[in-house]
Amino acid sequence: MRLVTSSLFYGLIAATLFAAAPLRAQQDPFRWMDFHSAQDRDVVAWVTRSLAVEDWTAIREIGVQFDAALVVTTLRASPQSPPSEDTFTVWSLSLTSHNGTRLLKGANLRLLDWIQLADGQPRELGALYDDCNACAAETFFTAFHYDFSQHMWAARWMRGNQAALIWSANPAQGAALTQVYALLTEPNGRQLMGTWSHIDHGKEKPEDRLYCYDLDPIHGLERTQLLNGKEAESMKQRLCGAEGTMAGLERGQDSLLCQQSYKPHSARKPVLTPPVNNRGQSQPPAMRR
């Protein structure tokens, strides 16, 4: 049985209020729809009708900017299934046609704060999600942004249904895996995601894999960079020193790996005592003879 938010009744009302004419393109900045507001009723009805043929149990979120809606639906296997086993799908839906695009699907979606991935461009909605429930899950990072050229929402670093891998609960057999990740901010305010996987094979030499996920500052294209040499060492220090970057977008800083690797920069203390030859007898230049 399908629900729009927590109310089946409201979902049925919304469906009956659907209008055949396209909705007027939104000119306001991004805004989450209020399912109980008469002001947003036409958008809720439009989204409900657009997704009528898809497989979902509830519409959880609808965010609108310009002429497209960012929609999150959930699917429950059966009425007896616990909510913790729900899966989700994120959609981009046109408000001028009923065309929709599935952006990604998974489990345990966490919509976070808005992040600045490119200079002079709008902020994007950061998100984490897992590939499964109640399992040894892998966690992925992405950002949702409005694509002006396509008039739709899009997700960053997608390869199939997987975005940027930042955490895995599946170490190689016989190996110990330590992981660190953080959203880092450059001096100009541009942000990037850094990850460090330290794989200890026992008697063999440990393996370090450091990645940077960002947007090319020249072309604005998504990049996935495997770091080596000085860049890798610098990333280790930045990741382990990350503190309070953004709730939900840092992890592993308290690991033994970071405690052993991080070298905090000691700031030079200001000298507060006067020099030994200072007798308090200095005079302005005009008073000297």
Q: State residue 230's pLDDT score.
A: 97
Of the chain, the percentage scoring pLDDT greater than 70 comes to 81
pLDDT at 154 over 90: yes
Q: State residue 171's pLDDT score.
A: 86
pLDDT at 262 over 60: yes
Q: Per-residue pLDDT tens for 114-149? A: 999 999 899 999 999 999 998 999 999 999 999 999
Q: Per-residue pLDDT tens for 203-248? A: 888 999 999 999 999 999 999 999 999 999 999 999 999 977 777 8
pLDDT at 287 over 70: no
Cα Rg of the chain, angstroms? 26
Least confident of 68-72, 127-131, 194-198, 259-263: 259-263
Using CA atoms, how far apart are residues 172 and 157, in angstroms rounded to an integer? 24
Mean pLDDT across the chain: 86
Coil, helix or strand at residue 79: coil
Which candidate, 136, 107, 140, places its Cα nearest to that of 126?
Answer: 140
List b or e across 71-100, with b for residues whose CB sees 16 or more CB atoms inside 10 angstroms: bbbbbbeeeeeeeeebbbbbbbbbbeeeeb
Using CA atoms, how far apart are residues 51 and 91, in angstroms rounded to an integer? 9
Q: State residue 18's pLDDT score.
A: 40
Q: State residue 263's pLDDT score.
A: 85
Q: What is the mean pLDDT of residues 145-160?
A: 96
Q: State residue 147's pLDDT score.
A: 95
- 258: confidence class by pLDDT, cuts 50, 70, 90: very high
Q: Per-residue pLDDT tens for 178-196? A: 999 999 999 999 999 999 9
Phi/psi of residue 57, nearest 5 degrees = -105, -40
For residue 101, the number of C-alpha atoms closer than 13 Å in the C-beta half-sphere is: 15
Q: State residue 214's pLDDT score.
A: 98
Q: State residue 170's pLDDT score.
A: 87
Using CA atoms, how far apart are residues 156 and 142, in angstroms rounded to an integer? 5
Q: State residue 248's pLDDT score.
A: 85
Q: What is the mean pLDDT of residues 155-172?
A: 94
Q: State residue 16's pLDDT score.
A: 42
Q: State residue 273's pLDDT score.
A: 57
Q: State residue 172's pLDDT score.
A: 82
Q: What is the mean pLDDT of residues 267-286?
A: 55
pLDDT at 285 over 90: no
Least confident of 14-28, 75-89, 174-188, 266-280: 14-28
